[in-house]
């Protein structure tokens, strides 16, 4: 096969110039003539009845153009990414701190803020439900009168769990807790909306799901979807927090109410209070194994606090549960998920989507199992590791699983796993050094029986340049660069000849959301198909022009080739000739994920089938006097199928692992009866340049069948094994038992205090 022209090459980031010069327009940088400032009134209590809501004084404030509440929504008063249970404006009660009661549009921000203060709300605070394990007891107060606090109970099983534990010589049993984490994209949520002369509406939206925004805006405004045009400016990160709509519907309602452009940008505090969090989980785990380390049974009960609205709660729990036996062959599994409603912040999608919570539990279990059996943590993982063709608890069989062992072995090599015992474990009286390993399994795309598709429009111009219109938002990861590479490679032109048109629902096709590590696979395949269709047309023309059989012809870097030799005929020539022959040189590519393999009976019906593996290893120093953990080195080795762009691909792993360091050691949303105490970036701490250790990141390519050029998604996987790699290293260093993340210095010290002096390593 020919070497690729652009795939796998470090092509520059599409539109980098705007990003490094400050010219890139993000939502907050958009300024329209006569634009008003929109502000939202958020709930003062996490759980209360609304006795009275009076906006009359706010409306009279000079400079205020409109104040709207639930009474002013012409269509449906709810969000609707999936479930439609969360109101846009609360009417009779508030259920969490992020509920919105009213929206103000005013001539400037100060006036809008002053107007919020003039809105009178009388609350009757109710006690509320804040502890997920209490919430599922029959005597618990209910979040919703007509609904059980247990929103969803999922069971995934394989084999015979009782028999599996009977075969076990040892059983490891533990309960784990993972803290509530905050996505914290640097750009908070925002939108600008404007009514057009014809009554249609344009909404600039910082979103991961432009076409879902369109549906939701139309539904709330009571207009048809083709009257709504959603455009994505540059987007300053998402990590899950911009999947469900945020303020774009409110901005659209205010624009409709005032006839003027309206901008709403959330403050950092508003963003942290209202958008989704990584669910806190309790995971009750039992792992049974034979004396030789072979796993015979895994039982997991995973409880997740999803807050008061459905959002993507059951879906996140589903991903956690289906992967909760880890990247290990488990012949007997009983995996249960409990999605629990409370009055805490909403749990939803955040990079890894339930995966990091599960990984912390299953990888701590593996180390405890190894310790109990006096086996090496690497050896026990390799012994049980999943591989190609093996069945997982959902019932699906792994198509391509060679990455599991390969990633583990490479991570171990890079951290010098076999030499660790020769190194100094007590470099000073107060310091302890340790090493930890963790692997993961993850599934990409949505899974069976869930619509999962994308459309790309390609238009070749007479000068040989290509327009690529995608409905998939580039939220900062470089998706559009990757799509340009896939399209240009498939068509046979230079990547510099591609212009990517960002999501604009009036020009681009619905491609679902940028989530589930799906976009390079699905939008990528749509782009590849469209490019191949255009290429076919050009080659038919070329065959007629040259008299050569089509089979020997190809296009490469903008030129025609015959049996690999360049012919003096360009894509530009062929584009023009094809057009003169009334042949279309544009194409729509549409792709929906394929699941050709049938599932056996009693399988999990939504079982996904694109599997990805990876392993990380950490070397840490723990200060047993202060509890502080210093990561000396972190290595990350992931299976990514074919790499489209090494900068983009490695960047995803690097960034994911950095987020994983935060998740392991420092990041946690603290709340007290639903009131978030860490609602700023100086109380919710993100890793800084000083917190990130030297990292070695490597990607191993195991091409996936049924994806364009064998690519796999890698947007989420970088975070999956980071926390357990670090916590296993802390355990190795100190001997403390760890059943909770983040392991802040405070928790490390507490755990050390629980050990007797002679138990500390």
Partner 1 sequence: MTFPIINCTINSKSIQVCVDPSRTLMDVLRTELGLTGVKEGCGQGDCGACVVIMNQRAVNSCLVLVGQIEDCEILTVEGLAQQGRLHPLQQKFAEKWAFQCGFCTPGMLMSAYALLIQNPDPSEQEIREAIAGNLCRCTNYHKVVEAVQETSQYLMANQKTIGVWYG
Residues 250-279 that bind partner 1 (CB under 8 A): 265, 267-268
Q: Contact region for partner 1 (CB under 8 A) — 186-194, 335-343, 436-444, 744-752?
A: 186-194
Alpha-helical regions (H) of 61-203: 109-118, 132-135, 161-166
Report phi then psi at 484, rounded to 5. -60, -40
Q: Compute the distance between CA of residue 95 and CA of residue 132 in angstroms, rounded to an integer.
A: 15
582 binds partner 1 (CB under 8 A): no
Residue with tokens 């070329």: 542
Q: Contact region for partner 1 (CB under 8 A) — 160-168, 322-330, 474-482, 535-543?
A: 474-482
Report phi then psi at 336, rounded to 5. -125, 145
647 binds partner 1 (CB under 8 A): yes
* Residue number, 39 or 535, with CB nearest to partner 1: 39
Residue from 46, 128, 233, 237 binding partner 1 (CB under 8 A): 237
235 binds partner 1 (CB under 8 A): yes
Q: Contact region for partner 1 (CB under 8 A) — 22-30, 57-65, 384-392, 564-572?
A: 22-30
Q: Compute the distance between CA of residue 617 and CA of residue 628 in angstroms, rounded to an integer.
A: 19
CB 176, CB 439: distance < 8 Å = no
Q: Contact region for partner 1 (CB under 8 A) — 354-362, 516-524, 585-593, 648-656?
A: 648-656
648 binds partner 1 (CB under 8 A): yes
Task: Please confirm whether the linkage preceding 549 is cis (ω < 30° from 0).
Answer: no
* Residue number, 246 or 747, with CB nearest to partner 1: 246
* Residue number, 141 or 696, with CB nearest to partner 1: 696
* Residue number, 103 or 631, with CB nearest to partner 1: 631
CB 356, CB 663: distance < 8 Å = yes
Q: Compute the distance between CA of residue 140 and CA of residue 129 in angstroms, rounded to an integer.
A: 8
CB of 667 to partner 1, least distance (A): 11
Indicate the helix (H) or strand (E) that contains 170.
Answer: strand 170-178
CB-based contacts of 138: which residues, under 8 Å, 6+ apart?
A: none
Six-digit token pair at 288? 């049974």
* Residue number, 458 or 695, with CB nearest to partner 1: 695
Sheet of 695-700, strand order: 431-444, 610-623, 629-639, 695-700
* Residue number, 233 or 326, with CB nearest to partner 1: 233
> What is the size of the binding site for partner 1 (CB under 8 A)?
48
Residue from 4, 26, 144, 177 binding partner 1 (CB under 8 A): 26
187 binds partner 1 (CB under 8 A): yes
Q: Contact region for partner 1 (CB under 8 A) — 311-319, 324-332, 558-566, 645-653?
A: 645-653
Q: Which of 320, 328, 313, 242 is nearest to 27 (CA)?
A: 242
Q: Compute the distance between CA of residue 90 and CA of residue 707 in angstroms, rounded to an integer.
A: 44
686 binds partner 1 (CB under 8 A): yes
Q: Compute the distance between CA of residue 25 and CA of residue 359 in angstroms, rounded to an integer.
A: 38
Six-digit token pair at 335? 């995996």
Residue from 113, 120, 186, 760 binding partner 1 (CB under 8 A): 186
Q: Contact region for partner 1 (CB under 8 A) — 182-190, 401-409, 433-441, 500-508?
A: 182-190
Q: Contact region for partner 1 (CB under 8 A) — 295-303, 568-576, 646-654, 701-709?
A: 646-654
Residue from 79, 96, 239, 329 binding partner 1 (CB under 8 A): 239
737 binds partner 1 (CB under 8 A): no
* Residue number, 537 or 722, with CB nearest to partner 1: 722
Q: Contact region for partner 1 (CB under 8 A) — 17-25, 148-156, 371-379, 390-398?
A: 17-25
Six-digit token pair at 271? 């963003």
* Residue number, 263 or 301, with CB nearest to partner 1: 263
Q: Compute the distance between CA of residue 605 and CA of residue 275 in angstroms, rounded to an integer.
A: 30
Six-digit token pair at 378? 């690497």
* Residue number, 298 or 438, with CB nearest to partner 1: 438
Q: Strand pairing partners for 623? A: 431
CB of 319 to partner 1, least distance (A): 22
* Residue number, 274 or 365, with CB nearest to partner 1: 274
681 binds partner 1 (CB under 8 A): yes
Residues 428-467: x where in contact with partner 1 by CB under 8 A, - otherwise, as a string: ----------------------------------------
CA atoms within 13 A on the CB side of 703: 9
Indicate the helix (H) or strand (E) that contains 629.
Answer: strand 629-639
Task: Please confirm whether the linkage preceding 700 is cis (ω < 30° from 0).
Answer: no
* Residue number, 651 or 708, with CB nearest to partner 1: 651
107 binds partner 1 (CB under 8 A): no
28 binds partner 1 (CB under 8 A): yes
CB of 27 to partner 1, least distance (A): 11
Q: Which of 115, 109, 108, 9 is nearest to 55 (CA)?
A: 115
Q: Compute the distance between CA of residue 618 and CA of residue 624 in angstroms, rounded to an integer.
A: 18
Q: Contact region for partner 1 (CB under 8 A) — 341-349, 386-394, 604-612, 654-662?
A: 654-662
9 binds partner 1 (CB under 8 A): no
CB 192, CB 30: distance < 8 Å = yes
Residue from 414, 475, 527, 553 binding partner 1 (CB under 8 A): 475
Residues 692-711 that bind partner 1 (CB under 8 A): 692, 695
Residue from 58, 657, 726, 752 binding partner 1 (CB under 8 A): 657
* Residue number, 26 or 144, with CB nearest to partner 1: 26
Report phi then psi at 417, rounded to 5. -55, -45
Q: Contact region for partner 1 (CB under 8 A) — 62-70, 289-297, 567-575, 643-651?
A: 643-651
16 binds partner 1 (CB under 8 A): yes
DSSP-derived 3-state class of residue 759: helix
Q: Strand pairing partners for 335? A: 156, 300
Q: Strand pairing partners for 295? A: 289
CB 323, CB 285: distance < 8 Å = no
DSSP label at residue 150: E
Report phi then psi at 157, rounded to 5. -140, 155
Six-digit token pair at 697? 């990141």
688 binds partner 1 (CB under 8 A): yes
496 binds partner 1 (CB under 8 A): no
CB of 356 to partner 1, least distance (A): 16
CB 245, CB 87: distance < 8 Å = no
CB 103, CB 97: distance < 8 Å = no
680 binds partner 1 (CB under 8 A): yes
Indicate the helix (H) or strand (E) that contains 620.
Answer: strand 610-623
608 binds partner 1 (CB under 8 A): no
Residue from 38, 401, 651, 708 binding partner 1 (CB under 8 A): 651
Q: Contact region for partner 1 (CB under 8 A) — 170-178, 364-372, 683-691, 702-710?
A: 683-691
DSSP-derived 3-state class of residue 599: coil
Cβ atoms within 10 A of the Cβ of 34, count? Answer: 10
CB of 261 to partner 1, least distance (A): 15
Q: Which of 225, 234, 186 is nearest to 206 (CA)?
A: 234
Six-digit token pair at 96? 């969490």
14 binds partner 1 (CB under 8 A): no
Cβ atoms within 10 A of the Cβ of 76, count? Answer: 17
* Residue number, 22 or 547, with CB nearest to partner 1: 22
Residues forming the site for partner 1 (CB under 8 A) = 12-13, 16-17, 19-26, 28-29, 184-188, 234-237, 239, 265, 267-268, 475-478, 647-648, 651, 654-655, 657-659, 680-682, 686, 688-690, 692, 695
């Amino acid at each position: 096969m020919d070497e690729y022209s652009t795939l796998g090459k470090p092509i520059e980031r599409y539109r980098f110039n705007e990003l490094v010069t400050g010219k890139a327009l993000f939502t907050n940088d958009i300024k329209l003539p006569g634009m008003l400032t929109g502000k939202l009134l958020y709930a003062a209590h996490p759980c209360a009845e609304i006795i009275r809501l009076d906006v009359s004084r706010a409306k009279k404030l000079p400079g205020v153009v409109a104040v709207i509440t639930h009474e002013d929504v012409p269509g449906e008063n709810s969000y609707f990414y999936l479930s439609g249970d969360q109101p846009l404006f609360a009417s009779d009660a508030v259920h969490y701190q992020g509920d919105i009661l009213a929206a103000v549009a005013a001539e400037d921000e100060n006036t809008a803020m002053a107007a919020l203060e003039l809105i009178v709300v009388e609350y009757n605070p109710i006690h509320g439900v804040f502890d997920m394990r209490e919430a599922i007891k029959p005597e618990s107060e209910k979040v919703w009168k007509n609904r059980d606090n247990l929103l969803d109970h999922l069971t995934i099983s394989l084999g015979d769990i009782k028999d599996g534990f009977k075969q076990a010589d040892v059983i490891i049993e533990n309960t784990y807790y993972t803290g509530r984490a905050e996505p914290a994209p640097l750009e908070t949520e925002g939108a600008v909306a404007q009514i057009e002369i014809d009554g249609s509406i344009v909404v600039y939206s910082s979103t991961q799901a432009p076409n879902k925004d369109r549906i939701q805006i139309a539904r709330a405004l009571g207009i048809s979807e083709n009257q709504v045009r959603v455009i994505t400016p540059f987007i300053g990160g998402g990590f899950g927090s911009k999947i469900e709509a945020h303020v774009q519907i409110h901005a659209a309602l205010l624009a409709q109410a005032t006839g003027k452009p309206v901008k709403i940008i959330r403050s950092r505090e508003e963003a942290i209070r209202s958008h989704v969090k990584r669910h806190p989980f309790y995971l009750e785990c039992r792992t049974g194994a034979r004396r030789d380390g072979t796993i015979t049974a895994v039982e997991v009960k995973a409880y997740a606090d999803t807050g008061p609205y459905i959002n993507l709660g059951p879906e996140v729990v589903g991903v956690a549960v289906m992967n909760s036996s880890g990247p290990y062959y488990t012949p007997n599994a009983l995996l249960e998920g409990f999605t629990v409603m409370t009055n805490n912040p909403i749990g939803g999608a955040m990079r890894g989507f339930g995966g990091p919570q599960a990984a912390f539990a299953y990888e701590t279990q593996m180390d405890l199992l190894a310790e109990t059996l006096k086996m090496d943590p690497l050896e026990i993982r390799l012994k049980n590791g999943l591989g190609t063709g093996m069945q997982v608890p959902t019932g699906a069989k792994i198509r391509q699983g060679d990455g599991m062992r390969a990633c583990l072995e490479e991570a171990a090599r890079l951290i010098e796993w076999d030499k660790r015992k020769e190194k100094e474990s007590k470099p000073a009286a107060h310091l302890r050094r340790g090493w930890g390993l963790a692997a993961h399994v993850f599934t990409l795309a949505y899974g069976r029986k869930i619509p999962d598709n994308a459309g790309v429009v390609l238009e070749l111009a007479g000068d040989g340049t290509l327009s690529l219109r995608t409905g998939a938002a580039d939220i900062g990861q470089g998706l559009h660069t990757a799509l340009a590479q896939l399209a240009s490679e498939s068509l046979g032109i230079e990547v510099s000849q591609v212009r990517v048109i960002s999501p604009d629902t009036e020009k681009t096709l619905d491609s679902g959301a940028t989530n589930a590590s799906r976009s390079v696979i699905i939008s990528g395949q749509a782009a590849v198909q469209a490019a191949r269709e255009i290429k076919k047309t050009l080659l038919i023309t070329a065959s007629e022009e040259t008299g050569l059989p089509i089979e020997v012809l190809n296009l490469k870097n903008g030129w025609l080739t015959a049996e690999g030799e360049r012919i003096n005929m360009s894509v530009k020539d062929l584009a023009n000739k094809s057009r003169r022959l009334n042949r279309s040189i544009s194409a729509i590519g549409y792709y929906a994920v394929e699941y050709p393999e049938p599932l056996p009976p009693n399988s999990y019906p939504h079982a996904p089938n694109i599997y990805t593996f990876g392993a990380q290893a950490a070397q840490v120093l723990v200060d047993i006097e202060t509890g502080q953990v210093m990561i000396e080195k972190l290595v990350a080795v992931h299976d990514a199928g074919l790499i489209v762009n090494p900068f983009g691909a490695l960047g995803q792993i690097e960034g994911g692992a950095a987020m994983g360091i935060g998740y392991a050691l420092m990041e946690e949303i603290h709340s007290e009866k639903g009131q978030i105490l860490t609602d700023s970036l100086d109380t919710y701490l993100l890793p800084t340049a000083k917190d990130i250790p030297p990292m070695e990141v490597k990607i191993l390519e195991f091409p996936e069948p049924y994806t364009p050029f064998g690519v796999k998604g890698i947007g989420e996987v970088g975070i999956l094994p980071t926390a357990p790699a670090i916590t296993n290293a802390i355990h190795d260093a100190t001997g403390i038992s760890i059943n909770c993340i983040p392991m802040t210095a405070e928790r490390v010290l507490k755990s050390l205090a629980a050990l007797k002096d002679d138990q500390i390593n």
